[in-house]
Amino acid sequence: MRISKIFIVLALISVVGFTINSNEGKKPESSTISEELALLNSSEISSQIELLEYVDRGKMVASWYGPRFHGRKTANGEVFDQQAFTAAHKKFRFGTLLRLTNPGNERSIIVRVNDRGPYIRGRELDLSKAAATELGILERGVAKLNIEQVSLKGTNFPVITLN
């Protein structure tokens, strides 16, 4: 039973992404899955799911993209939603979950890689508008972030299916 709950949580994370911040105890105004998940903080998750590990991938220069690409297909075939917690990277597999931390304000989020890019020299990660907003980099446009890959302990690329 515990393992199936873990897979359901991971599946939800891979579909919608979620925010890790200090909003613990606040109730969302609406009850969407992404808003419910946004209230979880990293200590709650790590105490409930010991199977997750965070692999340090170093620092990357990140920018954001949104309005011009909203509604268009991403490289993995899904429709880009600038309000989802997603990212573009040139090499990470589609579906890879990344925990991004802005060292300037200590805000962290988890995003799912669903696109390729960025294609501007010196940038290594493109974020959705929602991800950039949550990390506090929307106005600046570019920031150096700490990157950790989220994975299941003992696997190098977890595949999660809902049957």
Q: What is the pLDDT of residues 68-124, one digit of tens each?
A: 788 789 989 999 898 999 999 999 999 999 999 999 999 999 999 999 989 899 999
> What is the overall mean pLDDT for the chain?
77
Residue with tokens 């011009």: 68
Decide which of 2.40.110.10, 2.40.40.10, 3.40.50.300, 2.60.40.1220 is the CATH code for 2-152: 2.40.40.10
Asked if pLDDT for residue 8 goes beyond 80, the answer is no
Contact of 95 with 79, CB cutoff 8 Å? no
Asked if pLDDT for residue 125 goes beyond 60, the answer is yes
pLDDT digits (tens, 9 = 90+) for 133-160: 999 999 999 999 999 999 887 766 555 5
pTM over 0.75: no
Q: What is the pLDDT of residue 151?
A: 87
Give the count of beta carbons closer than 10 Å to the beta carbon of residue 143.
22
Measured distance CA(107)–CA(134) in Å, rounded: 7
Q: What is the mean pLDDT of residues 62-72?
A: 84
Measured distance CA(121)–CA(123) in Å, rounded: 6
> Token digits for 43?
């200590």
Give the count of beta carbons closer than 10 Å to the beta carbon of residue 108.
19
Helix (H) or strand (E) holding 129: helix 129-135
pLDDT digits (tens, 9 = 90+) for 41-52: 445 554 555 778
> Can you say how many angstroms the Cα of residue 99 is from the centroid of all Cα atoms in its chain?
6
pLDDT bucket at 59, cuts 50 / 70 / 90: very high
